């Protein structure tokens, strides 16, 4: 049953092709069948027509960095006004109390919030595995399939505790053999390949200050053998740069190369404190960066040199980061934030509305190694978001596509993933939000209370 999303108010397909008349999707295959030019009609008779005359239609937004579990520690008073390292030191003991039901609730809240903001694919970096939570990534995979999103779920890890000069407490440090065995299990169990994949697995040692060089090298070897991607935090703060110089005798990009990670298999969270030579090396290697503007401002970490990274050849995506350092999971708001923060450094003419949207769609897709999502084109996945502009904040606006970011859009009206509606009327299909909020809030209070 083909669906014609007809005559949208505006479209941004990520391609040069005219789609003023909308697009036709096939829910059976989950793909886009054709783009309809302005004033035109589909070449085949659609079985269903959706009037999009009051909607801006864009590819589904792709979130390249998140920590779903952190929705349980949003706006926690003791860390409201501190930078990254003390923020982490205070939160590690709280997160060490995480349990399966709390993680399931946290993941559901994060993904539902993302869906409602027009996001169809999300990468999550999970690196907390206290006793009893060995199946954390399995829980996330189940929630992903239940909500009908796509996800790149990463098997994170921490192996360098306080006792050995790292930042995390010993209670959240794991044995390397356990990490590698579980990584292989998760790849074998959940990783889907090819176009239309819903759940994929990547390997993600947490950061230079929380893992050993051996787990970085072993993870790179395992990722290459299994052809999966690599992810880590890098160059987020000056403190991290100083840590690498003191412990490893090298800057972050040199460290990355020394452990076999300076490749196009890798995407990095934050990537703020790079010099000119390092930007050129990252670009030459095709190593991607997830720009997380709200988190970087919240923790006063600095500003990613996003335009220069992209111009050098490094794929640039957008990430909301964890909901304890943002403190939300709103992807369309994050795109606006990315555009404005980058404009401060590079000017409005270099950071256009369309370029910012491309970062959060095809740029993010490249960061995750995907070629089937991030644009609306025949044969690509039918992942899209539809935004209305009939509220007060849009009154008086003239260009619908520009208004999508400039007027501060917060919620999608409709979201489709693989040809299936996952959000209708601004609500996640089949999800009891009040009940979810009540249980999730109770779990959050219990977690911080200890």
For residue 1, pLDDT beyond 90: no
Place of tokens 């659609």: 46
In this prediction, residue 440 carries a pLDDT of 98
Confidence of residue 450 (pLDDT cuts 50, 70, 90): confident
Residues 6+ apart with CB under 8 A from 321: 65, 66, 67, 269, 292, 294, 295
- pLDDT 10s digits, 290-345: 999 999 999 999 999 999 999 999 999 999 999 889 999 999 999 999 999 999 99
Q: What is the pLDDT of residues 180-218, one digit of tens each?
A: 999 999 999 999 999 999 999 999 999 999 999 999 999
pLDDT of 201: 99
- 10 Å CB burial of residue 427 (0-12, 13-18, 19+) is middle
Q: How confident is the model at residue 237 (pLDDT cuts 50, 70, 90)?
A: very high
Structure tokens at 140: 């996330």
pTM higher than 0.85, yes or no? Answer: yes
Q: Give the whole-angstrom CA distance, residue 360 versus residue 290.
A: 10
The residue length of the chain stands at 450
Q: What is the largest CA-CA distance in the chain?
A: 68
**331 and 267 in contact (C-beta within 8 Å)?**
no
Considering only CA atoms, which of 186, 47, 36, 82 is closest in space to residue 126? 186
Per the structure block, which two tokens stand in for 166?
């790292």
Contact 300, 331 (CB under 8 A): no
Give 3-state DSSP helix, strand, coil % of the chain, rounded to 5.
40, 20, 40
Distance separating alpha carbons of residues 37 and 19, to the nearest angstrom:
5
The CA distance from 180 to 242, in Å, is: 28
Q: What rounded mean pLDDT belongs to the chain?
A: 97
**Domains along the chain with CATH numbers:** 61-367 (3.20.20.140)
Q: What is the pLDDT of residue 380?
A: 98
- Enumerate residues 6+ apart whose C-beta is below 8 A from 242: none
**Alpha carbon distance, N-terminus to C-terminus of the chain:** 52
């Amino acid at each position: 049953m083909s669906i014609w999303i007809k005559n949208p108010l505006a479209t941004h397909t990520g391609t040069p092709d005219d789609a003023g008349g909308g697009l036709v999707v096939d829910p059976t295959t989950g793909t886009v069948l054709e783009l309809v030019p302005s004033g035109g009609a589909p070449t085949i008779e659609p079985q269903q027509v959706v009037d999009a005359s009051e909607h801006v239609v864009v590819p589904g937004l792709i979130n390249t960095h998140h920590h779903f579990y952190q929705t349980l520690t949003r706006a926690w008073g003791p860390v409201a006004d501190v930078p990254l390292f003390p923020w982490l030191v205070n939160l590690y003991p709280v997160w060490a109390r995480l349990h399966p039901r709390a993680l399931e609730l946290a993941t559901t809240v994060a993904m539902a919030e993302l869906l409602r903001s027009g996001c169809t694919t999300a990468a999550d970096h999970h690196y907390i595995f206290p006793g009893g939570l060995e199946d954390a990534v399995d829980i996330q995979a189940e929630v992903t399939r239940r909500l009908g999103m796509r996800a790149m779920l990463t098997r994170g890890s921490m192996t360098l505790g306080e006792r050995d000069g790292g930042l995390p407490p010993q209670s959240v440090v794991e044995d390397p053999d356990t990490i590698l065995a579980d990584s292989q299990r998760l790849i074998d169990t959940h990783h889907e390949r090819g176009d239309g994949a819903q759940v994929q697995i990547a390997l993600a040692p947490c950061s230079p200050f929380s893992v050993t060089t051996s787990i970085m090298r072993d993870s790179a070897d395992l990722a290459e053998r299994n052809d999966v991607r690599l992810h880590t935090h890098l160059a987020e703060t000056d403190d991290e740069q100083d840590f690498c110089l003191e412990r490893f005798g090298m800057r972050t990009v040199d460290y990355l190369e020394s452990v076999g990670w300076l490749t196009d298999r890798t995407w990095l969270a934050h990537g703020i404190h790079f010099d000119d030579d390092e930007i050129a090396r990252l670009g030459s290697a095709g190593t991607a960066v997830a720009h997380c503007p709200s988190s970087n401002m919240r923790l006063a970490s600095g500003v990613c040199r996003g335009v220069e990274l992209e111009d050098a050849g490094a794929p640039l995506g957008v990430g909301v980061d964890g909901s304890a350092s943002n403190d939300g999971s709103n992807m369309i708001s994050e795109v606006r934030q990315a555009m404005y923060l980058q404009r401060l450094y590079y000017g409005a003419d270099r950071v256009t509305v369309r370029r910012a949207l491309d970062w959060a769609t095809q740029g993010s897709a490249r960061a995750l190694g995907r070629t089937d999502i991030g644009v609306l084109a025949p044969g690509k996945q039918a992942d899209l978001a539809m935004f209305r502009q009939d509220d007060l904040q849009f009154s008086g606006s003239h260009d619908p596509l520009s208004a999508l970011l400039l007027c501060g859009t917060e919620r999608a009206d409709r979201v489709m993933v693989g040809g299936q509606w996952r959000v209708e009327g601004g609500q996640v299909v089949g999800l009891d939000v009040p009940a979810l909020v009540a249980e999730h809030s109770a779990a959050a209070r219990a977690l911080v209370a200890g």
